[in-house]
Structures are given as C-alpha cells and as structure tokens.
Amino acid sequence: MNKFIQDASRMEKDVVDLCEDACNLPEQVTVSDTRVNFPDWRAMDRSRQAWEVWSGQALLSSAVGQVKSQQPRMQPFLRQLEVMESGLRSIREILRRHNAQAGPAEEPLPRTLSVPTVPKLFSVYASFLRGKVNLFLASVCQGSGR
C-alpha cells in the first residue's frame, strides 16, 4: 500500500510541474469525497467501509476514463493517468482477494466532489489512497492476521 501512496504523491507533484493551459478540464468530473471523519469511520461496519472504497475507486476509474478521452489535450498527463488507472485496478484486485464486497444497493450514495483540474484529480486520488483505502486495508489485514 505504501508503494501506491508514494507513487500517487509523486504523480501529484509531476502533474503540477506539467501544468500549463491543459490543467483545466473541459468539463468537471465527479469523484468520491475523500474526507474521512475518523470516529465515524471506526464506527462503520466493515461492509460499509468496503462500499466506500469500492464506490470511490469506481468513481475515480470513471473520471480517469473521461479525462483520458479528452485527447489530445490530456496528452501531457497520459502516462500519469495510465499509472493511476493501473493503481485503481490493483485496488480492485486487493479488495477481491480480501473478499471485500461492494455492499448492498440500498447503501446511500457517497458524498462526491466535482473536480475542475487535472492536479485536483491527482490530489483526490492520493488522498483516497492515504485515507479510505489505507484505513480499510489496515483494518482488514489486522482482522485476518496479515
């Protein structure tokens, strides 16, 4: 997990360095709000936490697809977007290996954010990894003795 977090932080910095006119997205993308209220998070049952992580990665994956489709404008960020996409696929695999289910359909929708720029998208991704994903996987691994 630490490798994913380090990669995300490095990409976040790289994207800011690449920014010129292309930093603003032609249309905003919707992602999961990554803020974590720690007492609320600890009080949540594991299935709700899993749902928060599943829905967050799904929204981020969708946002990355939308941004990548805005070629050639997003060409400077293509490598970083592909690394983000790969990281999100890895998160899905890790969740599957830990039998973390997406949660029932009746779960309330997650809070979302509208992201207007490429740097903000990478910032949200890094925050998502450092926050919800890291907390959830630490809890799951502790519970399974790993």
For range 56-73, the mean pLDDT: 89
Residues 37-52: b if buried by 16+ CB within 10 A, e if exposed: eeeebeebeeeebbbb
29 is a domain residue: no
Query: Is residue 103 a contact partner of residue 109, using CB atoms and an 8 Å limit?
Result: no
34 is a domain residue: no
pLDDT tens-place string over residues 81-130: 999 999 999 999 988 888 777 666 566 777 899 999 988 998 999 999 99
4 is a domain residue: no
Query: Is residue 21 a contact partner of residue 132, using CB atoms and an 8 Å limit?
Result: no
Residue 64 has pLDDT above 80, yes or no: yes
55 is a domain residue: yes
Q: Closest Cα to residue 113, out of 60, 73, 49, 68?
A: 60
Instruction: Show the tokens assigned to 26.
Output: 């032609």
42 is a domain residue: no
Query: Is residue 101 a contact partner of residue 125, using CB atoms and an 8 Å limit?
Result: no
The CATH number linked to 62 is 1.20.1250.10
- State residue 10's pLDDT score: 80
Q: How confident is the model at residue 144 (pLDDT cuts 50, 70, 90)?
A: low
Q: Who wins on pLDDT, 10 or 34? A: 34
Number of compact structural domains in the chain: 1
Q: How far apart are CA 115 and CA 27, in angstroms?
A: 9
pLDDT tens-place string over residues 30-44: 999 999 999 999 999
Residues 65-85: b if buried by 16+ CB within 10 A, e if exposed: ebbbebeeebebbeebbebbe
Note down the domain range covering 126: 48-140
38 is a domain residue: no
13 is a domain residue: no
The whole-model pTM stands at 0.82
76 is a domain residue: yes
- State residue 145's pLDDT score: 46
